[in-house]
A and B are shown apart, each in its own frame.
Chain A
Amino acid sequence: MLKVGLVGLGFMGSSHLSVYKQLMDEGYPVKLVAICDVNEEKRTGKLTQGNIDVSDKSIDFTEFSFYTNMEEMIENEELDYVDICLPTYLHAPYAIKAMEKGLHVFCEKPMAISTKACQEMIDARNKYNRYLMIGQTLRFFPSYQYIKKIIDDKTYGELNEVALFRGGTTPLWSWDNWLLDKERSGGCLLDQHIHDVDTINWLLGTPKAVYTNGKVYFDGSGYDMVSTNYIFDNKVVNAQDNWTINNDDFGFEMRFRFSFKKGTIILENGKLTDYPNNKKSFAPQIDERSGYYLEIKHFAQSILDDVDPQLACPLESTMETIRIAEAEIVSADTNKINFLDK
């Protein structure tokens, strides 16, 4: 039986909490024993509502020990790993601290606030010989896994075009409004658009160059709107994000279009459709479970099996995603195409 401590009960922490509840209800041998958050009000389960309703009101918070300090939690509980759902700038210092204290770490995306901080996490992982994996959750989403398989199996031949979009309401729910603070979150570009950067990196590798337009909409925020062209040989690749679509009817939306020689696959309005050229389109049969569920279960199963969880989501790769995003910020700042070293 694995014992887990959840660090940070904001929007993502709440969604991870629901996943642990589901796993425990299913009898899966993982037990969330403790929760840590600086906000005392979270003790009774006051959850953060984001732009996706991921919280579960049926959770009995008396089942968990509550702490406002992670080190105290680690000292008092016999934990196997911590699940870190803190603001981005705290990922590296908290992950390193937990590994130093002997625990494995599952850490929310983005990996860290900078490539330098990412490297410190990797160094700590090697120094303390603990398991560390970043929750770049789209790599576990069945709809994105479907694309990965089409690419790997060369089902539709060469990939010609990729168009990605994410967007929705402004995240005004975060603790101390950290998400709208460039220094602590990196803005929409590093927090939300990073999913698409990671998708491109995961599926296509590092682009030769990036050219990004960005707009800062809120004072002190990072880029709140972003559009990036990724330069690859013989491929048209673009990703856009905008977290200022402030209408609850919209909420949040993620879309993709992958166009191959022999067919195109589109995700929009939550619906995945496969359009083979000149044949009847169809909705592929995919796993109905969420990527959050699948990534956490993957991590826990890896710990139980004593195999490295990052095999499914390598740290070097999630760090490379941050390097590409940093190149995008430079491109947007200078309004110039930015070439990436190989």
Chain B
Amino acid sequence: MKIGILGIAHMHVNSYVDILKKQGVKIVGVYDHNEVAGNNFCQQEGLEFYPSLEELLNLDFDAVLICSENVYHKELSLKACSAKKHILVEKPMALNSKDCLEMIVAAKKENVQLMVAHPVRFSKPVRDLKKIVDKKMLGCVISINTSNHGKNPGGWFINPVLSGGGALIDHTVHILDTINYLFGLSPKYVSAFYKKSDPSLQVEDSGLVGISFSDGVILSLDTSWNRPKSYPVWGDAVLEVVFEKGYVIIDGFGRKMKFFDNQSMEISEVFYEEDMDSLMIDGFIEAIKNNTAVPVTGEDGLYTVKIAETALKSATQQRTIPIN
């Protein structure tokens, strides 16, 4: 299998490239609108840089990995569709649900597969929880209290023109994809608040989202870039799920061991299970190789963007917003 990379602005591209190399996928070339950044990346990774998107897409390969700034996801996806390449696009799928729909339609029209990089549903704890939900081991779900914390990534993430929004966008999509995967719930109302810890920030770095779903399930979500610099890992994706006959709490990022080192006097935490990014990329490669459905579809991506954009609207307009 051969892959082209479109855009390297998102830091996930580094781990994706490592995984692709490990899996024996050939990376035919890399495009980015920023030639300096693109060339630097290619030098580090030993890859070939293409300043022309068209030239890269004219090569013979199977799929593209899109890791550009969010604002270019749609354009790059549409061009990949026209070039008949399958697509793995970083989350959030696009800046708004209208753009997501256009991407879904284009992929169907050109008969290419479109997958959105939502890794949390691939983690071991989420897979384990999925079994509990599907087998109704604790009955039906009643309510969910969840959080997705991280650190402020800076750079283009905090420029709303390029990112479409801050923590409210960046993290809501992670959790809502996990919720969609686990429960397949339809959202009915969204109510959200956001905050900038520093007034000079152009985007919010803290957000609280409340959602009620069509079958009475309620959810609260803390979606924030508020982990301090000293926090031992990047963040978390905690789900507390209240069922009819019990309660489950997991960290969707995986299980951690705590590491106490008297020499450095530091405490660190290490995720020890198989890496969710790796499992996600495997899922994509397998679907393309075997021509089976990708594990996270464009429709799944749209589900999360629709909720995130409604949350942003709710927070801006300070009212509860119905969602269809």
Q: A: which residues have CB within 8 A of B?
A: 1-2, 26-29, 80, 301, 304-305
Contacts and interface: CB of A to CB of B under 8 A. Distances in A.
Q: Summarize B's interface: helix, strand, loop or mixed.
A: helix
Contacts of A28: 75
Interface string B12-43: 00000000000000000000011000000000
Contacts of A27: 74-79, 99, 102-103
A285 B103 CA distance: 31
Interface in B24-79: 33-34, 71-72, 74-79
Given A301-B33, A304-B71, A305-B34, A26 B161 contact: no
Nearest to B73: A27
Contacts of B103: 27
B164 interface: yes
Given A27-B99, A29-B72, A305-B34, A2 B161 contact: yes
Contacts of A301: 33
B161 A1 contact: yes
Contacts of B34: 305
B106 to A, nearest CB: 9
B73 to A, nearest CB: 8
Given A2-B161, A304-B162, A29 B79 contact: no
B115 interface: no
5 contacts: A1-B71, A1-B95, A2-B161, A29-B71, A301-B33
Interface of B: 33-34, 71-72, 74-79, 95, 99, 102-103, 161-162, 164
B75 A29 contact: yes
A28 B164 CA distance: 14
A141 to B, nearest CB: 17
Contact of A80 (B33, B79, B161): B161
B75 A26 contact: yes
B75 A304 contact: no
B284 to A, nearest CB: 21
A29 B74 contact: yes
Nearest to A3: B161
B79 A305 contact: no
A305 B33 contact: yes
B79 A304 contact: no
A299 to B, nearest CB: 14
A275 to B, nearest CB: 27
A28 B78 CA distance: 10
B71 A26 contact: no
Contacts of A305: 33-34
Nearest to A29: B71
A1 B79 contact: no
A305 B161 CA distance: 10
Contacts of B77: 27
Nearest to B33: A301
Nearest to B162: A304
Nearest to B95: A1
A26 B72 contact: no
A26 B78 contact: yes
Nearest to B96: A1
Contacts of B72: 29
Contacts of A2: 161
A305 B78 CA distance: 21
Nearest to B77: A27
Nearest to A307: B34
A28 B76 CA distance: 8
A26 B81 CA distance: 11
Which among A29, A80, A305 has the greatest number of chain B C-beta atoms within 10 A?
Answer: A29
Nearest 10 pairs of A and B residues by beta carbon: A27-B75, A27-B74, A27-B78, A29-B71, A28-B75, A26-B75, A1-B95, A1-B71, A26-B78, A301-B33
A304 B72 CA distance: 11
A1 B94 CA distance: 11
B33 A26 contact: no
Contacts of A80: 161
B162 to A, nearest CB: 7
B320 to A, nearest CB: 24
Nearest to B94: A27
Nearest to B72: A29
B69 to A, nearest CB: 8
A327 B102 CA distance: 53
A301 B72 CA distance: 11
A176 B95 CA distance: 42
Contacts of A29: 71-72, 74-75, 95
Contacts of A1: 71, 95, 161, 164
Nearest to B69: A304
A286 to B, nearest CB: 13
Nearest to B160: A1
B216 to A, nearest CB: 36
Contacts of B164: 1
Given A27-B77, A27-B78, A304 B161 contact: yes
Contacts of B95: 1, 29
Nearest to B71: A29
A297 to B, nearest CB: 10
Nearest to A28: B75
A26 B164 CA distance: 19
Contacts of A26: 75, 78-79
B128 to A, nearest CB: 38
Contacts of B76: 27
A289 to B, nearest CB: 9
A3 to B, nearest CB: 9
A174 B108 CA distance: 45
A296 to B, nearest CB: 14
